[in-house]
Amino acid sequence: MPETDPRAERTPTLPTVLRCCAALAATPARLLRPRRPDTRLLSELTVAPLPPATVTVGLTVLTQGEMKAPETIVAEGVRSLREMPLTMAAFLIRHPKARFLVDPALCAHVHDRVLTELPFPVRLLVAPDKPVRGLADALAGHALTGADIDFVVTTHLHWDHVSGLLELPDSVPVRLPTAEHTWAMGGAHAPVGVARGPLRERTFDRFELDGPPVLTFPRSKDLFGDGSVVLVDLAGHTPGSIGVLLAVDDGTRVLLAGDAVWSKLQIELLREKAPMPGVLFDTDRDSAFATIHRLHALPEGIEVIAGHDHAAVTARAARH
Ligand SMILES: [Zn+2]
């Protein structure tokens, strides 16, 4: 990991301010005329086989934080003044060979411990309601501590998916695509949305998505080789964004989709996030939109849970 000055990472850079202004300026038109779906891409998408699962896993939702955003900016062009509830959550996975977390989202007092790393005005846009439930507290609710966690998988490295690392032992490694690590940690400045504090002193196990197409996704990695946890390519929101496709022990197939979308509404309607905040937080808008098409074209029977989708997260949490 390169040595960087934390103060430099906090400095509001001109590009960040310009991106905020560009995103704001582009938003009103998109609220009236959302980006059109790519019908050619949709017609070309094929559905590859889902690897048979010889093992299933337990899935427990750890809800940690809440906030609200206008529905019309979560899925651009939705004619609604409604405020949409958004969730910040971690996911505890129990596999016969390991107990691990997908997206250790938040630590206690995340506003003071992590959000201060983000440049103004980004930190104001993304702050959850106070108080949040720290990861250690959430694990304790299931009679677990950080010492019970074997490793972490991140859907991507934005601050609200990794801040709980501050409450896990340093020895717990993070597994992620090489592209994501390079993007978040490689430059002198953290990209917008990344806080490097929770990532310091952490061991990263980097991998490539070198497995075959799965469902509508072009690349994959079968984490245990048994079909129970298959990582799939959801690039666009960040360069190394992945989804975690689970064969759950209640017989369901669940795709933890990170921030590829913030709400299932985007998948149903095929809508981007509005430019503000999508331009700030999606590193490649075209790839991100293509990924939404891939989610839209999924076959029946895949339960997609985006990390901030309050309805999807709470529906799954109510199952156990
Ligand atoms: Zn994100």
Q: Give 63-107 pLDDT, tens digit per residue.
A: 999 999 888 878 888 888 899 999 999 999 999 999 999 999 999
Distance from residue 146's CA to the centre of ligand 1 (Å): 23
Rounded CA separation 133/141 (Å)? 11
Q: So where are the chain's domains?
A: 6-34+57-317
Residue closest to 236 by CA, chosen among 216, 261, 213, 200: 261
Rounded to whole angstroms, the Cα distance separating 78 from 69 reads 13
Q: From the CA of 161, how far away is ligand 1's center (Å)? A: 7
Beta-strand ranges (E) seen in the chain are 58-70, 83-95, 98-102, 151-153, 174-177, 204-207, 220-222, 229-233, 242-247, 253-256, 302-305
Percentage with pLDDT > 70 across the chain: 94
CB 76 within 8 A of CB 30: yes
The CA distance from 240 to 179, in Å, is 5
90 — alpha (psi -120 to 50), left (phi > 0) or beta?
beta
CA of 58 to the centre of ligand 1 (A): 25
Cα of 270 to ligand 1 centre, how many Å?
Answer: 18
| DSSP secondary structure letter of residue 257 | -
Q: How far is the CA of 152 from the centre of ligand 1 (A)?
A: 16
Predicted confidence at residue 241, as pLDDT, reads: 98
Mean pLDDT (whole number) for 302-310: 96
Q: Using CA atoms, how far apart are residues 130 and 260, in angstroms rounded to an integer?
A: 25
* φ, ψ for residue 95, nearest 5 deg: -105, 150
Is residue 9 very low, low, confident or very high in pLDDT (cuts 50, 70, 90)?
very low
CATH tag, 6-34+57-317:
3.60.15.10
Phi and psi at residue 72, in whole multiples of 5°? -70, -15
Q: How far is the CA of 279 from the centre of ligand 1 (A)?
A: 12
d(CA 219, CA 241): 12
Q: Write the pLDDT tens digit of every residue in 249-289.
A: 999 999 999 999 999 999 999 999 888 777 788 999 999 99
CA of residue 237 to ligand 1 center, whole Å: 7
pLDDT in tens, 210-259: 999 999 999 999 999 999 999 999 999 999 999 999 999 999 999 999 99
State in Å: Cα 261 to ligand 1 middle. Answer: 9
DSSP structure class, residue 50: P
Q: Using the mean position of ligand 1's atoms as its centre, give its distance from the Cα of residue 105 in Å.
A: 11
Ligand 1 centroid to residue 54 C-alpha, Å: 32
User: Can you give the pTM of this predicted structure?
Assistant: 0.92
Pair 147, 96: CB distance under 8 Å: no
User: What number of helices (H) and strands (E) belong to the chain?
Assistant: 12, 11
